[in-house]
Amino acid sequence: MEGRISNAWRLTVNDKNFIKTALLSEIRIDGRKPFEYRKISIKFDRGDGSSEVQLGQTRVMGIVTAQLVQPYKDRPKEGTLSIFTEFSPMADPSFEPGRPGELAVELGRIIDRGLRESRAVDTESLCILAGKFVWAIRIDLHILDNGGNLVDAANIAALAALLTFRRPECSLGGEDGQEVIVHPPEIREPLPLTVHHLPIAITFGFFGNEGILLIDPTHNEEAVMGGRMTMTVNANGDICAIQKGGGEGVPQRVIMKCLQLATSKAASITKQIKDAVEAFTERALRKIKRHPTSTDVDVKEKQNQ
């Protein structure tokens, strides 16, 4: 049953030709202009590092958790950041459960390079006791709906989740100062992560002979396009990563044009993410202020235990 031809989703030849012909007149099938992004909506369920991002029809959920572990031997003073991408069969009938396929691995690697190698998240501040205890941050990205351009949506979900994640505060204690005490959130306010900059992934699609260039392809356009390229840039104009894995060849000037486009798009998306995070944090703070008695109940609970 796995991978039966009758179960795979394929575009008909008529659909493909329609998309290509429309693109010749700079018309996209969902009415957008070639360099227009779909509507991005960022939602936070609860302020514990979980975010849900909707980019048009694409939906991705990002979840951040942290654990105290022993650091790597060659980096005793740094915490670790790891990204797990789940191409859930929920998102697309062709996604199989089990081991991640090529696309999932590529997506994970692009986001990983953008976040870790550009040092967007400060790993040195995650060190509690050098050589013994550091925080290992784990980002789980669940793809819920594949409407095209999973990389960009997953990247935004990861960033939004990282910005709203709070790790418990801990202090050194014990007899020789070698024990780590983790304080529960009711006693001490958990701390946010130090994020220096936001690397935003922007994906381009290339369509053959006429040199047509698109930003943010939908899954219909992805089935037709000849090549793709993802550029991870931040609002300061730094290039964090560029990924172009095969597909058709593209002249140099097109790459430079893409870079300029990517930088301008990154600025607007960064602003959107920051606004959403700020609005959520404000609301969360207001909720805490309105119920000052809730902390009392928790403390009594602990005493009864």
Partner 1 sequence: MEVDREDGRSQNQLRPLACSRNNLHRAHGSASWSQGDTKVLAAVYGPKAGTKKNENPEKACIEVIWKPKTGQIGKLEKEYEMILKRTLQSICILTVNPNTTTSVIIQVANDDGALLPSAINAACMALVDAGIPTRHLAVSICCCVARSGLVVLDPTKLEEQKMKAFAYLVFPNSVHSVLPEGSPSGQGEPIQNGIITSVTHGIMSVDDYFYCLERGRAASTKLSDFLRKNLQQQSTDSSKAG
**Smallest separation (angstroms) from partner 1 to the CB of 249:** 31
**What is the C-alpha separation between 166 and 89, in angstroms, rounded?**
30
Pick from 29, 34, 35, 88: which binds partner 1 (CB under 8 A)? Answer: 88
Contact 122, 195 (CB under 8 A): yes
CA 288-41-16 angle, to 5 degrees, is: 160
The token duo for 180 is 């780590």
Pick from 23, 63, 81, 127: which binds partner 1 (CB under 8 A)? Answer: 63
Contact 100, 85 (CB under 8 A): yes
Pick from 40, 44, 50, 134: which binds partner 1 (CB under 8 A)? Answer: 50
Q: Does the footprint of partner 1 cover residue 186 (CB under 8 A)?
A: no
CB closer to partner 1 out of 70 and 82: 82
DSSP for 244-267, please give it: --SSS---HHHHHHHHHHHHHHHH
The β-bridge relationship of strands 58-69 and 133-145 is: antiparallel
Pick from 51, 86, 137, 263: which binds partner 1 (CB under 8 A)? Answer: 86
**What is the C-alpha separation between 134 and 131, in angstroms, rounded?**
8
CB closer to partner 1 out of 161 and 276: 161
Q: Does the footprint of partner 1 cover residue 93 (CB under 8 A)?
A: yes
Runs of H (alpha helix) within the chain:
13-24, 102-112, 150-164, 219-224, 252-290, 294-304
Q: Does the footprint of partner 1 cover residue 277 (CB under 8 A)?
A: no
**Smallest separation (angstroms) from partner 1 to the CB of 197:** 26
Question: At 235, phi and psi to the nearest 5?
Answer: -65, -20
- Which H or E run includes 133? strand 133-145
Q: Stretches 139-147, 230-238, 263-271, 274-282: which one binds partner 1 (CB under 8 A)?
A: 139-147
Q: Stretches 61-69, 186-194, 245-253, 260-268: which one binds partner 1 (CB under 8 A)?
A: 61-69
Q: Stretches 91-99, 100-108, 180-188, 232-240: which one binds partner 1 (CB under 8 A)?
A: 91-99
Cβ neighbours, 10 Å, residue 277: 21
Q: Does the footprint of partner 1 cover residue 297 (CB under 8 A)?
A: yes
Q: Stretches 26-34, 123-131, 140-148, 229-237: which one binds partner 1 (CB under 8 A)?
A: 140-148
Pick from 39, 46, 286, 290: which binds partner 1 (CB under 8 A)? Answer: 46
Residue given tokens 């703070």 in the structure block: 285
Q: Does the footprint of partner 1 cover residue 267 (CB under 8 A)?
A: no
CB closer to partner 1 out of 48 and 169: 48
Q: Does the footprint of partner 1 cover residue 39 (CB under 8 A)?
A: no
Q: Does the footprint of partner 1 cover residue 65 (CB under 8 A)?
A: yes
**Smallest separation (angstroms) from partner 1 to the CB of 17:** 18
The DSSP letter of residue 114 is: I
Amino acid at position 84, single letter: F
Q: Does the footprint of partner 1 cover residue 24 (CB under 8 A)?
A: no
Contact 87, 95 (CB under 8 A): yes
**3-state class (DSSP) for residue 283:** helix
Residues in touch with partner 1 (CB under 8 A): 1, 4, 6-7, 45-46, 50, 57, 59, 61, 63, 65, 86, 88-93, 97, 138, 140, 142, 144-147, 297, 301
